[in-house]
Amino acid sequence: MAMIPFRRRRRLHRTTAFQWVLTALLTLLAVFMLLPMVYLFNHALKPYHELFLYPPTFLARQPTLDNFYDLLLVTKTAIVPVSRYIFNGVIVSLATIILGALLCAMCAYALSKHQFIGKKWMFSVIIVSLMFAPETVQIPRYYVISTLGIMNTYWAHILPVIALPVIVFLFKQFIDLLPDELLEAARMEGASEFVLFGRIILPLCMPAVATAGILLFQSSWGNMEASTLYIEDETMKTLPFYVSSMTSGLANNVARQGVAAAAGLLMFVPSFVLFLFLQRKVISTMAHSGLK
């Protein structure tokens, strides 16, 4: 192997002026996009006298946890303990992630690697369903859930968000890249479709699974539709509904603005932490699935 001259190697690794400018612009853009999150954290940590300063301050001068302490005091007066709402939210989110990722991956696998009548039509319907706003299907969804007899159950939280069209599309784009020869070789060895899916498809699609987990968690963790429309029993409702009902009366209450800020941060942190742990998988999915 021919050795590259030292001077030529230095020219290859030398950063040009355009790259410096581009790096600086991207850094400024990244800082600008982080400002809402920085504001959310600082607003929740501001003491009462800093919340209404004029001119307002962006960063907290004297950070404190008093807002979270006041939030706990407010929750003590509730009939149902806040731990019950958190428990419901965690159970619903975990079940939604597991079942949703599994069902969407199975649907995408069939659309990608199998031939059947109506395949193109079915995939077109899934793509078209991306155009519908969630509000347009609230009445049919309520009718289906009522007909199934799952009102006031965990299934009323899980089923409406268990199959997202965008996740099916994401999985299909990822599975399309897997070679058919690999599956054919496994079939020749006697592997069934369930073995192919469980031991080949899912392990190779782990970046897509991680991305689907984030999307499913966000759609489930912050969902108030089920608790509002399908759940009457207060003990079956989730944390977003409780936080919303608690802070809805605080919009014009000056004394409780800090509590509202702490509640907003409480809803944001789980999604933020989950994304930090899975961000590399998400980037890999976007690179391989063709999403722009």
Residue 5 within any structural domain of the chain: no
What pLDDT, in 10s, does the model give residues 146-159? 898 888 889 999 98
Residue 73 lies in a domain: no
Average pLDDT over residues 265-279: 80
Residue 289 has pLDDT above 60, yes or no: no
- CA distance linking residue 27 with residue 11, whole number of Å: 25
More confident residue, 105 or 56: 105
CA distance 195 to 141: 34
| pLDDT the model gives residue 291 | 44
Residues 6+ positions from 201 with CB-CB distance below 8 Å: 105, 109, 175, 178
Task: Quote the CA–CA distance of 34 and 43 in Å, as a whole number.
Answer: 14
218, part of any domain: yes
Residue 161 falls inside a structural domain: yes
**Model confidence, pTM:** 0.77
Please report, as a single letter, which amino acid is at residue 85: Y
31 in a structural domain: no
Instruction: Reply yes or no on whether the pLDDT at 244 is more than 60.
Output: yes
Q: Is the separation of the CB atoms in 161 and 217 below 8 Å?
A: no
Total structural domains in the chain?
1
Q: Is 193 part of a structural domain of the chain?
A: yes
Report the CATH number that the domain containing residue 202 is assigned in CATH: 1.10.3720.10
Range of 241's domain? 80-289
Q: Residues 29-42: what's their mean pLDDT?
A: 85
- Asked whether residue 14 is domain-assigned, the answer is no
Can you tell me the mean pLDDT for 97-107? 91
Over residues 186-196, the pLDDT tens digits come to 888 888 888 88
* 109, 209 contact by CB (below 8 A): no
Question: Cβ-count burial of 71 within 10 angstroms (0-12 exposed, 13-18 middle, 19+ buried)?
Answer: buried
Q: Residue with structure tokens 């790259």?
A: 19
Quick: pLDDT tens for 206-228.
Answer: 888 888 888 888 888 888 888 88
Instruction: Give the per-residue pLDDT at 292.
Output: 41
Q: Per the domain annotation, does 44 fall within a domain?
A: no
C-alpha dihedral sign at 263, 265, 267, 273:
negative
Residue where the block lists tokens 């919009």:
251
